Amino acid sequence: QQKVQQSPESLSVPEGGMASLNCTSSDRNFQYFWWYRQHSGEGPKALMSIFSDGDKKEGRFTAHLNKASLHVSLHIRDSQPSDSALYFCAASEPSSGSWQLIFGSGTQLTVMP
Amino acid sequence: EAAVTQSPRNKVAVTGGKVTLSCNQTNNHNNMYWYRQDTGHGLRLIHYSYGAGSTEKGDIPDGYKASRPSQENFSLILELATPSQTSVYFCASGDPVYEQYFGPGTRLTVL
């Protein structure tokens, strides 16, 4: 079983709508969480990080972390066609001494004009 | 902005042949990583490095070797390429707490 699981696998929303992406970890040692975004033909690029319980807002993007339930979510308000991309949730446990990021399998977001 | 470049961008190899994928970073990051990306599996870590001269095995190291001759360069080596190694390979630098910066990827096809 993957340590970081994402849902849904794919998501379509209308332009201007709200997109909600989910991520669940099976490892309680994960402390740091990231969302990465990958446009077609490019490498992934960090979107935002969240390390503490609660919400973190950056423009149209809001991440939410609940460490007790090992759940991370990303909400995109006023979705734009340029938001169409593959979104990855990633987690790490630096206290273990291992500088690895564990990625989920991704959510393909399509924003329809 | 941090920069990671990869070469070649596309590669076609024959089964049993040797393939070397190269990565260069100008970020002066100690940590570098090699991932492969396959549909349904996301990004899987093959090898990583903490600095020049060091290489560590990631989650799927079998069939791959890595080399870190300098702070800037990190190579992934397939000594005997197989069709199952057909994939898109990404190099990254940085660290899991602050950020990882990815290159544009190399599409490898093994026939």
**CB–CB contact A32 B4 (8 Å):** no
The DSSP code for A78 is S
Q: Which residues of A touch B3 (CB under 8 A)?
A: none
Which residues of chain A, if any, have pLDDT below 70? 1, 95-99
Output the CA torsion sign for B35, A22, A92, A59: positive
Cβ atoms B44, B57 nearer than 8 A: no
Q: A with B: how many residue pairs have Cβ under 8 Å apart?
A: 53
pLDDT surpasses 70 at B68:
yes
What region, left, alpha or beta, does residue A59 occupy, with left being phi > 0 and alpha being psi -120 to 50 degrees? left
Mean pLDDT of chain A: 92
Please give the pLDDT value at position B40: 77
Quote the minimal CA–CA distance from B78 to chain A in Å: 21
pLDDT of residue B12: 98
Chain Cα centroid distance, residue A28: 17
Give pLDDT, residue A1. 63
> Does A105 contact B42 at a Cβ distance shorter than 8 Å?
yes
Which of A45, A94, A105 has the CB atom closest to B40's CB atom? A105
Q: Is the dihedral of CA B22, B26, B28, B34 positive or negative?
A: negative
- What's the CA gap between B2 and B102, in Å, rounded? 9
Mean pLDDT, range B6-21, rounded to an integer: 97
Planar angle of CA A68, A72, A78, nearest 5 degrees: 145
What distance in Å separates the CA atoms of residue A97 and residue B101, rounded to the nearest whole number?
Answer: 20
With the CA atoms of B55, B92, A29 and A60 taken in that order, what torsion angle do they form, in degrees rounded to the nearest 10?
A: 180
The per-residue pLDDT for A95 is: 62
Question: B44–A46: do the CB atoms touch at under 8 Å?
Answer: no
Asked if the model's pLDDT at residue B97 lies above 80, the reply is: no
Run of H or E including B68: none
- Nearest Cβ partner for B43 among A46, A49, A103: A103
Helix or strand run (H / E) with residue B5? strand B4-7
